[in-house]
Chains A and B, each alone.
Chain A
């Protein structure tokens, strides 16, 4: 089957790409657009290493065809940093040691980024269940939870300061 042209807006930039009908979104992102932050961990939507944000939802890009994302707005880990520097979540993951091998980190942060928009003031338990779809084999999750709670606190503090 031939390739079809689809339009993806990724990290604010519009791309027209040719994708095979059965091409998975993660491969379009990694191979065509050279965005290798989303990782291929399990190919069956369980591990979450490939998590990206699509039209305001966390999506595992290994179980979505690129063609299904035609017209979508996509944010990957590469688009989460702001022009002023790293996003608060990125800073907090670094500072609170929310990573070891780092392979799950892009998906984990991308998921946390959406979680904090769904629930800007989560309890520890809500964080634990909110990221339960993203597996980490190294950290035991303790510092990941700490990093997300610290980022939430900082984001809320800066929101208050802005008001």
Chain B
């Protein structure tokens, strides 16, 4: 069987030779036009004059389009119809597209786009959470509140209380391949769009609306993305729609890609949060009551902010059974880029909140932080003596963290290292080392229940080769390989016989975004259903030829055994079935079972299951400069019965480093006019190879999904991101060694933030 094998990425050979094609590498027809947006230079106001004559006369320019030139819907929002492709006269953030330039080259379009003479009636922008809250500028009528028990009463009655507030920054996706799309006009007005997107169906939907055609006239194809991380769930809409409109306008193929600076200035990022907490607990550290307030900076348009903010609330418990809890979430509207999906989709922010509380309580009680966490864990399956439900009323029935924590602490030699580090810190005044553990419990499924569906299309050709297609997109995570491994296993054939093909809305319709870590769960099951349909037809026919029952036909090892005596190759079997006029093509469909969720009440079962992980990180910090390094990270992660351990470990390693980057060096800075000042890798620091932990031990937990998922595997895209929280906590632990007060770090814990915190702790404030 192909499943469970650590096979390389399906396109690895193409990647290492430079032959893998991304949108910008695709050969374009002669006459292809290149597009660029003209961008707003003010954060809030109205356009009073727009002189585009210098743009139109710029060399190479073919046409310039404004909102008035758009024939149908001027909207690229994935949710609320509040995001015009081109400004309708109002401007809402610095970087908002105002007009569209069509030119003979990418550079000509960009040069021209900067030549417009624009007059604005400027208004005072809302940039900060405080400003938005004061102006009551928000999405939804008021805060969303999820509650279990009476948190205020529980805190009032608790022997001890800690409270605090901290800021948690956003994050730029920094997919290495910037946003890109190419539209090729077809006969009869149809449009073929090649898009770097996690959501081809939505691109199809928005393009169809924009050019006034039914969805059947628009076909979207996505072979691969050079990274997505959530940043290509909705943020590719603008480029694809712009290309389609320009192609319709000129009859020529049109391509658009954002240069890195434009990409960072135009597109949304991870939501920044401010989290306030008040926690009541007993002398043993058991949580009795907890209150959270989330202030969420959503930016100017709704995009996916409501489900992102919901998911943050849904991860405010992380791994802990909390008797009484209240979470209040304000989704604030500001004049910044519209924050969007990013790996974890709000989950990381919620989880940082509760892990901060745990850290603070452990410091308050001078109790080992791992021990404190274990005392508050949900009960392992079959051991619950009381309530073991989440704040939203879902029974936790698959809790793996007791065993995982024990295994990790042992393999990482926690107790001895803790003692050694404490002793080392006593001998060193300027440098301090820190060590911290954090667990992950991440809910798997889209919280918008209807998105939990997937389709597949499988053909077996008469030579025994297999063509595989499904609704998921490949962004590097290895989805295509994992799903091909499923198909090869169902037919009992070698993987080479399965041809993986580009995601195509004409092959599998009405797909969900490849998001919520659900790619292999959903598409693997849909492909299995399609393969099993074909396999059953084949077995039925072959059995009939030999007067046997279908159960006596076995597909294995590239052959088909029919009864005890006959064995033919899969290729021969396919040929026989074709000649027997058996359909060798099938669709497959899957919908996740057991889901029931009311997001207004905050009650139900939004998740099919939970994925778990545990990390221990060691750092060192320098009090005089705030500089710091991750010295060692040990990780044990739960991917269920992994479909491909090599690819899954890659997700865990990459997720951890990206998560640690978010909480340490990746700082987004806007100036007081609302201009993003960190709009290139020169000023926005993602982890480099030299930042990677010196020692990095990663293992998968030996287990299987307790729910019936594809080969009992678990989703692995997002959960490991939150293992990076342990790096932030380790920095807090190190800084705490400079004195006795709690460091109260903000995130990201940049060198500057650590320097300030170390001074506060040293001075005892």
Footprint of B on A, CB under 8 Å?
Answer: 30, 34-44, 46-47, 49, 76-78, 81, 86, 89-91, 93-95, 97, 99-106, 109, 125, 127-129, 131-145
Contact = CB atoms under 8 A, between A and B. Distances in A.
A139 B653 CA distance: 6
B13 A94 contact: yes
A140 B226 CA distance: 15
Interface string B677-720: 00011100011111010101010000000000000000000000
Interface stretch (B15-23, B69-77, B127-135): B15-23
B17 A86 contact: yes
B653 A37 contact: no
Contacts of A103: 22, 175-177, 226-227, 476
13 contacts: A37-B18, A37-B19, A39-B176, A40-B24, A41-B177, A47-B176, A47-B260, A97-B646, A100-B476, A103-B175, A137-B173, A140-B692, A140-B696
A95 B15 CA distance: 12
Contacts of B24: 36, 39-40
Contacts of A90: 16-17
Contacts of B688: 132-133, 135, 141
A137 B227 contact: yes
A133 B13 CA distance: 23
A97 B12 CA distance: 8
Interface in B137-196: 173-178
Interface stretch (B285-293, B391-399, B654-662): B654-662
B653 A142 contact: yes
B260 A100 contact: no
Contacts of B225: 101
A108 to B, nearest CB: 9
Contact of B650 (A77, A97, A133, A134): A97
B671 interface: no
A46 B228 CA distance: 19
A93 B12 contact: yes
Interface in B1-44: 6, 8-9, 11-22, 24-25, 27
Contacts of B21: 36
Contacts of B658: 137, 140
B82 to A, nearest CB: 30
Kindly list the 10 A-B residue pairs having the minimum CB-CB distance in the complex, ordered from nearest. A37-B18, A101-B476, A103-B226, A102-B15, A100-B476, A140-B657, A77-B18, A46-B681, A140-B653, A36-B25
Nearest to A47: B681
Contact of A145 (B177, B259, B650, B689): B689
Contact of A41 (B6, B260, B261, B692): B260
B224 interface: yes
Contacts of B11: 102
B658 to A, nearest CB: 7
Given A46-B682, A99-B9, A132 B690 contact: yes
Contacts of B682: 44, 46
Interface in B466-504: 475-478
B476 A102 contact: yes
B174 to A, nearest CB: 5
B607 interface: no
Given A135-B176, A135-B688, A138-B476, A100 B654 contact: yes
A94 B8 contact: yes
B647 A137 contact: no
Given A43-B259, A97-B646, A105 B15 contact: yes
Contact of A144 (B175, B478, B689): B689
A35 B656 CA distance: 34
Contact of A138 (B27, B260, B654): B654
B387 to A, nearest CB: 38
* Chain B interface residue number, banded: 35 or more
A43 B16 contact: no
A60 B17 CA distance: 18
B650 A139 contact: yes
Contacts of B93: none
Given A40-B24, A138-B476, A101 B12 contact: no
B226 A101 contact: yes
Contact of B224 (A101, A109, A140): A101
A39 B226 CA distance: 10
A40 B176 CA distance: 9
Nearest to B724: A140
Given A42-B680, A43-B259, A102-B20, A136 B650 contact: no
Given A42-B681, A101-B175, A101-B224, A128 B16 contact: no
A86 B15 CA distance: 12
Task: Output the residue of A37, A134, A144 with the most chain B CB within 10 A.
Answer: A37
B227 A77 contact: no
Nearest to B12: A94
Contacts of A134: 689
A136 B229 CA distance: 13
Given A97-B647, A138-B476, A104 B176 contact: yes
Of B9, B226, B653, which is in contact with the most chain A CB atoms at under 10 Å from its CB? B226
B615 to A, nearest CB: 12
B95 to A, nearest CB: 17
A131 B11 CA distance: 23
B170 to A, nearest CB: 16
Residue from the set B8, B17, B21 with the largest chain A CB neighbour count within 10 Å: B17
Given A78-B18, A145-B689, 11 more contacts: A39-B226, A46-B680, A78-B17, A86-B16, A94-B9, A100-B476, A105-B16, A137-B175, A137-B658, A138-B476, A138-B650
A10 to B, nearest CB: 13
B8 A142 contact: no
A103 to B, nearest CB: 3
Contact of A99 (B12, B690, B692): B12
Nearest to A35: B18
A43 B261 CA distance: 9
B611 to A, nearest CB: 18
A101 B8 contact: no
A143 B653 contact: yes
Interface in B378-420: none
Nearest to A79: B18
Given A102-B20, A109-B16, A139 B654 contact: yes
A91 B15 CA distance: 11
A78 to B, nearest CB: 5
Nearest to B24: A40
Nearest to B227: A101
B583 to A, nearest CB: 36
A18 to B, nearest CB: 14
A140 B478 contact: no
Contact of A100 (B19, B22, B650): B650
Contacts of A91: 16
Contacts of B13: 86, 94
